[in-house]
Chain A
Amino acid sequence: MVYYLIVCRSLTYAQRTAAALERAGITAHILRSPRAIDREGCSHSVKVSERNLANALLILGRVGLPPKRVYLIAGDGSYKEVLL
């Protein structure tokens, strides 16, 4: 299964992001950002499935919660940044 990580500036922002997605029926799971993608040192991300990413970005744009960055978790466990 392919997942995307939406990197957020803070835990509270990640919680708002996840809440907005859950309200729209998109399963969203908050986790600490893997160090490999965490440029600032300590942040939280929201994990969504591949099929939900486009809709999730649309919803986040609509509610004024733009993601900081988005990463694809590849099958080999590596992370690839998605250009928004």
Chain B
Amino acid sequence: MIYLDSAATTMQKPPSVARAAAYAVGHMASPGRGGHPAAMKAAETAFACRQAAAELFGVADPERVAFTSNATHGLNIAIRSLVSAGDRVVISGWEHNAVTRPLHGIGAEIITAQAPLFDRAGQIAAFEAALDGGAKAVVCNHVSNVFGFILPVEEIAALCRERGVPFILDASQSAGCLPVRQDRLEAAFIAMPGHKGLYGPQGTGLLICGSDPAPLLEGGTGSASIQQTMPDFLPDRLEAGTHNMPGIAGLLAGLRYVRARGPEAILRRERELTRRAARGLAGIPGVHLFVADNPGEQAGVLSFLMEGKDCEEVGEWLGQKGIAVRAGLHCAPTAHRTAGTLESGTVRVSVSDFNTPAEIVCFVRAVSELART
């Protein structure tokens, strides 16, 4: 199979990830729940994972790196820690349902800072205008999971700092390939999955806490057990229940891969593959591409449409040819509404560090064949 659905999850991982997860299954117990070697081995692995993440993401204190089960989990904690019913919250027009559904669920007043696709200056101006009306928080994704648009999050974070508005970053598509630095952003929270650009197993995620969070789950933490409220210190405050040690061990292996390879090198490879796909698709009659004029504004995600063909049918056809892409709305109706593709949806191609130019050639050839039918 040619796997081009890494924006959903990176299925091809460094071999060390599966090895680490398998080792954890047989050798690691529950960190903090015992003093025996298997519990301490788990504790060492969890700490090493926090430390590796803290170093990669510019977090001074590894205690402020909490394990979550995915980015959605982290975003729910972040949003529910800061936002109450009726609060005015500013978001970009490119957000995922992981952001918009919790906000709707809480009953927040959602203000969307609208700007055209791949218009970074327009995006900054839109946030500036929206923030003039005040806000309880800003939630913004770093890279659109539909179009690969890289939002100017450092500038948006600066606008928030100037106004004292907490900033929540959804780094679902950027962690591992773009600079995500808490020491520069000073975000209230940064949520990210462990199973995408960090190459960890599914069921892993990280939440970087610049602010004090409210727990989403309550229960045992292996600490302050007499107290009947959740501990007031991190990471225990957010980590009730048994840890996903196979996931954490695998995530540590993934983080080590990313740090050794370098996010810049990964981004460079993903961009080259995406641009190659774009060049190939551009030559096919009836294909409409969503591609940035400036390559620096787009990460390894590319959406397209085929004239006269339903996007889901395109995805299905490619799947039958052994090419995995994702079609439809990508859990991001807000992004499709902003781009004007809510009715049609799009076909999304998303690459990882493990894709090859030859795979892109095969993919373009398949689309070309479909266009002729």
Contact = CB atoms under 8 A, between A and B. Distances in A.
A13 B32 contact: no
Given A30-B43, A42-B225, A43-B224, A11 B31 contact: yes
B225 A44 contact: no
A10 B221 CA distance: 9
Given A15-B43, A40-B226, A41-B225, 17 more contacts: A9-B224, A10-B63, A10-B231, A10-B236, A11-B43, A12-B47, A12-B50, A12-B235, A12-B236, A15-B47, A19-B47, A30-B40, A31-B35, A39-B226, A40-B225, A41-B224, A42-B224
Main secondary structure of the interface of A (DSSP, over half): mixed
Contacts of B231: 9-10
B31 A13 contact: no
A16 interface: yes
Contacts of B63: 10, 12-13, 16
A61 B125 CA distance: 45
A32 B35 contact: yes
B122 interface: no
B200 to A, nearest CB: 19
Interface string B210-251: 000000000000111111000101111000000000000000
B285 to A, nearest CB: 58
B47 A9 contact: no
Given A12-B62, A30-B40, A41 B226 contact: yes
B107 interface: no
B224 A40 contact: yes
A40 B46 CA distance: 23
Interface string A24-37: 00000011100000
Contacts of B226: 39-41
A13 B225 contact: no
Contacts of A11: 31-32, 43, 47, 222-223, 236
B47 A42 contact: no
Interface of B: 31-32, 34-35, 40, 43-44, 46-47, 50, 61-63, 222-227, 231, 233-236
Contacts of A10: 32, 63, 223, 231, 233, 235-236
A35 B46 CA distance: 24
5 contacts: A12-B234, A12-B236, A32-B34, A42-B222, A42-B224
B188 to A, nearest CB: 20
Contacts of A43: 223-224
Given A16-B62, A32-B35, A40-B223, A9 B43 contact: no
A13 B32 CA distance: 11
Contacts of A40: 223-227
A44 B224 contact: no
Contacts of A41: 224-227
Contacts of B222: 11, 42
Nearest to A39: B226
A16 B54 CA distance: 12
B62 A9 contact: no
Given A15-B47, A41-B224, A9 B233 contact: yes
> Nearest 4 CB-CB pairs, A to B?
A41-B226, A41-B225, A42-B225, A11-B32
B32 A44 contact: yes
Contacts of A42: 32, 222-225
A11 to B, nearest CB: 4
A44 B43 CA distance: 11
A19 B51 CA distance: 11
Contacts of A15: 43-44, 47
Nearest to B61: A16
Contacts of A31: 35
B152 to A, nearest CB: 33
Nearest to B50: A12
A71 B231 CA distance: 23
Contacts of B223: 9-11, 40, 42-44
A16 B60 CA distance: 12
A32 B226 CA distance: 15
